[in-house]
Amino acid sequence: MRNYDLEFLKHFSMVIGFLALVTLGLIVGAYFLHGSVPPEVDPRAAQRTEARIAPTGAVYAGATGAAAQAAAQAAALAAAASQVAYGGTTDGSVIYQNLCGACHTNGVGMAPMLTVAGMGARAAKGKETLYKHAIEGFTGPDGGIMPPKGGNPALTDEQIHATVDWMLDNVK
Across the range 157-169, mean pLDDT stands at 88
Separation between Cα atoms, residue 84 and residue 54, nearest integer Å: 38
Distances (CA, A) of 81 to 66, 77, 92: 22, 6, 19
Whether 153 has a pLDDT exceeding 90, the answer reads no
> What is the mean predicted confidence (pLDDT) over 41-63?
81
Convert the pLDDT of each residue in 93-146 to its tens digit.
888 888 888 888 888 888 888 888 877 777 788 889 889 888 888 888 888 888
Q: Write the CB contacts of 159 (distance below 8 Å, at least 6 apart in sequence).
A: 85, 86, 88, 89, 90, 95
Confidence of residue 22 (pLDDT cuts 50, 70, 90): very high
Q: What pLDDT is recorded for position 172? A: 65
> Which pLDDT belongs to residue 134?
87
Whether residue 64 is predicted with pLDDT greater than 70 in this model: the reply is no
Helix (H) or strand (E) segment spanning residue 46: helix 43-53
pLDDT of residue 118: 78
CA distances from residue 92 to 12, 36, 82 in whole angstroms, order as listed: 97, 68, 21
Q: What's the rounded Cα separation, in Å, for the pair 112 and 125?
A: 14
* Residue 29 scores a pLDDT above 90: yes
Q: What does each C-alpha distance from 26 to 15, 16, 23, 38 come to in angstroms?
A: 16, 15, 5, 20
User: Could you tell me what percent of the chain has a pLDDT over 70?
Assistant: 91
pLDDT at 9: 92
- In percent, the amount of the chain with pLDDT more than 90 equals 15
**Mean pLDDT over all residues of the chain?**
84
Domains of the chain, CATH where assigned: 89-169 (1.10.760.10)
Asked if 145 and 158 touch (Cβ cutoff 8 Å), the reply is no
